[in-house]
Structure 1
Amino acid sequence: MEQEVTVKINDKMAGAYAKGYPLITKEAVESSEALKTEGAIVHLTDKRGRFLAKGYYGKQNKGLGWVLTRDAEEAIDQSFIERILAAAVQRRKTYFDDPETTAFRVFNGEGDGFGGLTIDYFDGFYMISWYSEGIYTFKELVVAALEQVVNAKGIYEKKRFDTKGQYIDDDDFVTGQRGEFPLIVKENGVNFAVYLNDGAMTGIFLDQRDVRNTIKEKYAKGKTVLNTFSYTGAFSVAAALGGAVKTTSVDLAKRSSSKTIEQFSVNGIDYESQDILVMDVFNYFKYAKRKELAFDLVILDPPSFARSKKYTFSTSKDYTDLMKQAIAITEKNGVIVASTNSASFDMKKFKGFIDKAFKDLGKKYSIVEEFTLPSDFRVQKEFKAGDYLKVLFVKLK
Structure 2
Amino acid sequence: MMKNLLRTAFEKRSSLFEVTDAYRIVNGAADGFPGLTLDRFGDRFQVQFFGPEMLSRRREIVEAIVEAFNPVCVVVKERLSRSGKSLENAPMEIAFGSREDAVGVVREGRARFHVDLLDTVNPGLFLDMRHVRLEVEDRFCALSGAAQSGEGPRFLNLFSYTCSFSVHARLGGAAVATNADISGKILDKGRENYALNGLDLRPGEFFRGNALEYVRWACKKGLRFDGIVLDPPSFARFKGFNFNVREHLMPLVAECAQILNPHGFFMVSSNYSEFALDAFSRDVLDAVKSVHKNARTAWKRGQDIDFAGSGSTKDSCLVATLVEV
Which structure would you say has the larger RCO, counting Cα contacts within 8 Å and 6 or more residues apart? 2
Alpha-carbon distance, 1:182 to partner = 4.0
Extract unaligned runs of 5+ from structure 2.
145-151
Q: Is the aligned partner of 1:154 residue 2:73?
A: yes
Partner of 1:392: 321
Equivalent positions of 1:1-397 (< 5 A) are 79=1, 81-96=2-17, 98=18, 100-133=19-52, 135-162=54-81, 163=85, 165-170=87-92, 172-176=93-97, 179-180=100-101, 182-219=103-140, 221=144, 222-273=152-203, 275-361=205-291, 363-379=293-309, 383=312, 388-396=317-325
Matched position secondary structure for 1:321: helix
Q: Distance in 2 between matches of 1:268 and 1:362?
A: 36
Contact 1:154/1:179 (CA < 8 Å) preserved in 2? no
> In the TM superposition, what whole-angstrom CA distance separates every residue of 1:92-128 from its partner, at most 9, and x where no partner exists?
23434x2x51111111112212222111112222111
Bigger Cα Rg? 1
Contact 1:225/1:246 (CA < 8 Å) preserved in 2? yes
Q: Distance in 2 between matches of 1:332 and 1:294?
A: 10
Q: Which amino acid aligns with 1:290?
A: K
Mean alpha-carbon deviation: is it higher for 320-329 or for 160-169? 160-169
Contact 2:34/2:53 (CA < 8 Å) preserved in 1? no
Contact 1:224/1:246 (CA < 8 Å) preserved in 2? yes
Matched position secondary structure for 1:353: helix
Q: Distance in 2 between matches of 1:134 and 1:181?
A: 26
Structural RMSD (CA): 2.4
Q: Distance in 1 between matches of 2:52 and 2:314?
A: 22
Q: Which amino acid aligns with 1:115?
A: P
Contact 2:43/2:72 (CA < 8 Å) preserved in 1? yes
Contact 1:190/1:267 (CA < 8 Å) preserved in 2? yes
Q: Distance in 1 between matches of 2:198 and 2:278?
A: 40
Mean alpha-carbon deviation: is it higher for 306-315 or for 285-294? 306-315
> In the TM superposition, what whole-angstrom CA distance separates every residue of 1:108-152 from its partner, at most 9, and x where no partner exists?
112212222111112222111122355433311211232333322
Q: Which amino acid aligns with 1:230?
A: S
Mean alpha-carbon deviation: is it higher for 246-255 or for 144-153? 144-153
> In the TM superposition, what whole-angstrom CA distance separates every residue of 1:10-49 from its partner, at most 9, and x where no partner exists?
xxxxxxxxxxxxxxxxxxxxxxxxxxxxxxxxxxxxxxxx
Contact 2:13/2:25 (CA < 8 Å) preserved in 1? yes
Q: Distance in 2 between matches of 1:334 and 1:362?
A: 11
> In the TM superposition, what whole-angstrom CA distance separates every residue of 1:370-392 from its partner, at most 9, and x where no partner exists?
332111111169x3877622222
Contact 2:303/2:310 (CA < 8 Å) preserved in 1? no
Q: Which amino acid aligns with 1:175?
A: F
Q: Which amino acid aligns with 2:175?
A: V
User: Could you tell me the TM-score, scaled by structure 2's length?
Assistant: 0.88
Contact 1:358/1:364 (CA < 8 Å) preserved in 2? no
| Cα gap change, 1:310 to 1:293, in 2 (>3 Å) | farther
Contact 1:341/1:390 (CA < 8 Å) preserved in 2? yes
Q: Distance in 2 between matches of 1:385 and 1:134?
A: 16
Partner of 1:22: none
| Cα gap change, 1:164 to 1:346, in 2 (>3 Å) | closer
Number of residue equivalences:
313
